[in-house]
Structure 1
Amino acid sequence: MGGSMMSEVYENNNDAGLFSLAITNNSPVQAPIISSYNDHIRPLLDTVDRLRNLNVMKEGIQLPTIVVVGDQSSGKSSVLESLAGISLPRAADTICTRVPLVMRLQRSSSPEPKICLKYGDKSYSTDEEHITEDICTATEAIAGKFSIKTKYTPLELYVRRQSVPDLTMVDLPGITRNPVKDQPEDLYEQVSAMIKKHIEPQESIILNVLAATCDFSTCESIRMSKQVDKKGERTLAVVTKADVQPQGLLKKVTADDVNIGLGYVCVRNRVGDETYQEVREKEEELFKKHPFLSKIDKDIIGIPVLAKRLVEIQAKMITRCLPDIVTKIDEKLGNSLLELSKLPEVITCEREAWMTFTDIIRSVESLLKLLIIQGDYSEYPDDVNMHFSTRLADMLSKFSNDLEAQHQSGTIEFLMDEIKSVTRVIEMEKLTEYTCNPEYTTVCTQKIAAQANFVNALSSNQSSLTLAGFGTVSITHLRKYPSQLLHQAFDMKVSMTAYWSIVVRRIVDSVTLYLQFTVKNLINSQFQKEIVGELGGGGDVEKMLDESPSVACKREKLKNSIKLLKESKEAVAAVLDQNHGHGYRY
């Protein structure tokens, strides 16, 4: 700065009540009406910054933010330097901004500037002489030497001095498609992802830095901003290097071929070791006397005008967004409190553990009686897994089918199993076969009637035969056996088939009754004893009821979220009450 300080004069603006900046060698002067306006704006900015510091954005709540974007070497650093009155890291062939740099400019009445850097849990003061070096050191600490970091806590730069407007801006890396030196191959993709993340929210104000030397329509930063802000309603363009290529600039900013909704501001870049006061003086002279640049409307030229426009836009965006922010905070807070209330209470002693354990047993016992004994599924109308009777019927039906299929499986050739067994088991079968089910006799009579057809088919040249109750069977292999043996084997087949279907049903019925009896007995009288018995006397109840890591993590996350949201709500409520008291409306 060379000991020279840029000072400012605030003038009344009939339309918005905002200030304009002018260069003077006198101390800063401020009209009373502007003092009132700044007393209104400063709390709003402080509140938004407070919310940003609380990291309320991780709760999905977006904050009004000026996001500075531009192609590499567009003059972005020069613009920020002129607004902040300090030097920033620069390099012609590499990217200096590799993490989001949040610049908080605060107008101060003190003649001594205060500069502070924060990242992570670190915070330290610096000065104009060392700020560039300190920013580079902090960036390297966050992102290493060459990489781009989009998911880390941003680097925050606080500048309090007389010569700055009240602004909060986020500076992002310059856009380049060609990595150099040790830069990552996917540099463009990384930078694009970072920029898109910051400019996509509707609360973001896009400050698009364009060099007068380029074709605006081919600028990558224009392409990116138009993807998220098609009508340009929240995009302001600042055109740098006006002195490098003045011819045709008037046409560019008046034609507006790229649809910049918030308009343009043309500026002159700082050159070499020029002081910031010298820069403003030369800028003013350039736009006043240059044959081409003097034709540009005075309302869109110079850093003072840019500062005024940014403060105006920022104030309007904050005013517009605050009610929505309050609503979102209330909704998030309500949801978090509700979710926390649904988590089980934390157990703190053995007595609570046993009481909780007893409540769990009674609750489960009551539910089992409801579902299994009473067949009441009203609490789970659509969850078929809880419908006991239906599931039991399905399981028993499958069991019955499996038994039937098991009986029918075996030797493929008809009667062969029976022929092999008949001489050994026929007497035993006569002794052990017993059923009082009348269906047995009916089925036997129906199936034995097919025996005549079976015998006749054996006497003919048929190779297969369709028998009632058995389907189509092959008989060629049976002709080598005596007729008497075949008659006995057929009788056994009929008898066993008729008897087996009755046996299957009897087994299934018995299993069903046994299951129902066992389950009811377990629920009504044995459930609690079985559970306590599994615990070996109950010594491990406390350990069993320890909160799982996932639930503990969720509980801690919800508590932190609630604390953050409550603090955010208090911060916003305070500024709303203050400004409502002054008659401001939102």
Structure 2
Amino acid sequence: MATFIKIVGSLIETLQKILIQGEIDEYENDKQMHCDARLVEMLDRLSKDVQASVKFSESFLIEKIQFLEEVKGIRLPLFIPHSVFLRLLKKKINSVSEFPIKFVNNVWGYLETVCAKVLIDQCGNYPKLLPSMKKATEHVMSKMKAKFAERVVEMIEMEKITDYTCDPDFISSYNKLMNYHAQFLNLLTSYMSNSITVEGYGSINIRHLSEVPENTRNQAFDLKMMMTTYWKIVLKRMVDFLALQLRFFIQKVVKK
């Protein structure tokens, strides 16, 4: 029993150093055990994957126009109902929801590898204890992964039902994009150019919109700029949430 307690204490201490404190002295030559670097790399990859959805395609506004056509109803023609924005938001979140789930699976697969290696090293002189220690560790890892995944799914679902931010830059960023509206209309009606250049997004083709009714076009433009502004906040919040939850659950794993 004393040996078992000693191994558990040593295991916890080693995992704290590697997973929480970022100390890798005894694994300096094993790049797989450089946890901080690997986890940051995974978060960066996730951020790049979801940020790829922030773009203005060649079919600028077409998707928004089609969406407005789908949700047409008996209402004032110049105003976009809140429910329309939420439906579009839900659709966009569904399009990237696989990335957070994939992140959980990748991160936990890596953490399980790290824990397994530390466990084998700690039990090296006590092979008879390894099976029971391994079983207990796998049980804790599985339980924590399930809870982590549950939190991530809840986060995704919460983003679908409420559009809110206290970010003071939201209004200014939205207004900055809407300032291109007058130029957008002028270029379409004057046939001066087939494209408009928007700061941060480059040159955008607009000639395919010349035959679209003005009201529909204006609503689609407003919807696009509002969603573009808010979408950046959603994605940033999503990545930040995953980073914080990851640290929280790593600590819980070590303590368990």
The TM-score, its normalising length taken from structure 1, stands at 0.27
Deviations 1:167-214 (A, max 9, x none): xxxxxxxxxxxxxxxxxxxxxxxxxxxxxxxxxxxxxxxxxxxxxxxx
Counterpart secondary structure, 2:197: strand
User: What does residue 456 of structure 1 align with?
Assistant: 186
2:63 to 412, 417, 422: 417
User: What does residue 489 of structure 1 align with?
Assistant: 220
User: Is the CA contact (8 Å cut-off) linking 1:372 and 1:388 kept in structure 2?
Assistant: yes
Displacement after TM superposition at 1:495 (Å): 0.8
Structure 1 CA distance for aligned equivalents of residues 44 and 189 of structure 2: 41
Trace 1:132-171 onto structure 2 (pairs within 5 A).
none
Tell me if 1:439 matches 2:173. no
Tell me if 1:500 matches 2:231. yes
Amino-acid identity (%): 35
User: What does residue 19 of structure 2 align with?
Assistant: 372
Displacement after TM superposition at 1:499 (Å): 0.6
User: What does residue 386 of structure 1 align with?
Assistant: 33
User: Is the CA contact (8 Å cut-off) linking 1:414 and 1:475 kept in structure 2?
Assistant: yes
Deviations 1:198-242 (A, max 9, x none): xxxxxxxxxxxxxxxxxxxxxxxxxxxxxxxxxxxxxxxxxxxxx
Displacement after TM superposition at 1:421 (Å): 1.4
| Residues 429 and 359 of structure 1, relative CA distance in 2, 3 Å threshold | farther
Counterpart secondary structure, 2:27: coil
Greater radius of gyration (CA)? 1
Structure 1 CA distance for aligned equivalents of residues 39 and 84 of structure 2: 33
User: Is the CA contact (8 Å cut-off) linking 2:55 and 2:201 kept in structure 1?
Assistant: no
Displacement after TM superposition at 1:436 (Å): 0.9
Counterpart secondary structure, 2:177: helix
The one of the two structures with greater contact order (alpha-carbon pairs below 8 A, sep at least 6) is 2
Structure 2 CA distance for aligned equivalents of residues 374 and 361 of structure 1: 18
Deviations 1:128-155 (A, max 9, x none): xxxxxxxxxxxxxxxxxxxxxxxxxxxx
User: Is the CA contact (8 Å cut-off) linking 2:46 and 2:239 kept in structure 1?
Assistant: yes
User: What does residue 512 of structure 1 align with?
Assistant: 243
User: Is the CA contact (8 Å cut-off) linking 1:414 and 1:474 kept in structure 2?
Assistant: yes
The TM-score, its normalising length taken from structure 2, stands at 0.59
2:208 to 464, 469, 477: 477
Bigger helix fraction: 2
Tell me if 1:522 matches 2:253. yes
Structure 2 CA distance for aligned equivalents of residues 467 and 407 of structure 1: 13
| Aligned residue type for 2:68 | V
| Aligned residue type for 2:174 | C
| Aligned residue type for 2:50 | L
| Residues 384 and 447 of structure 1, relative CA distance in 2, 3 Å threshold | farther
User: Is the CA contact (8 Å cut-off) linking 2:195 and 2:207 kept in structure 1?
Assistant: yes
Deviations 1:428-461 (A, max 9, x none): 1557432111121121121111111111111132
Structure 2 CA distance for aligned equivalents of residues 429 and 372 of structure 1: 44
Displacement after TM superposition at 1:370 (Å): 0.3
| Aligned residue type for 1:416 | I
Deviations 1:100-147 (A, max 9, x none): xxxxxxxxxxxxxxxxxxxxxxxxxxxxxxxxxxxxxxxxxxxxxxxx
Displacement after TM superposition at 1:377 (Å): 2.8
Trace 1:241-390 onto structure 2 (pairs within 5 A).
355=3, 360-390=7-37
Counterpart secondary structure, 2:249: helix
Structure 1 CA distance for aligned equivalents of residues 237 and 248 of structure 2: 16
Structure 2 CA distance for aligned equivalents of residues 373 and 415 of structure 1: 46
User: What does residue 401 of structure 1 align with?
Assistant: 48
Structure 1 CA distance for aligned equivalents of residues 164 and 25 of structure 2: 45
Please, what is the CA RMSD of the aligned residues? 2.5
Displacement after TM superposition at 1:465 (Å): 2.2
User: Is the CA contact (8 Å cut-off) linking 1:450 and 1:468 kept in structure 2?
Assistant: no
| Residues 381 and 460 of structure 1, relative CA distance in 2, 3 Å threshold | farther
Structure 1 CA distance for aligned equivalents of residues 190 and 25 of structure 2: 65
Deviations 1:471-522 (A, max 9, x none): 2111121111111211111111111111111111111111111111111011
Structure 2 CA distance for aligned equivalents of residues 469 and 493 of structure 1: 15
- Stretches (4+) displaced over 6 A: none
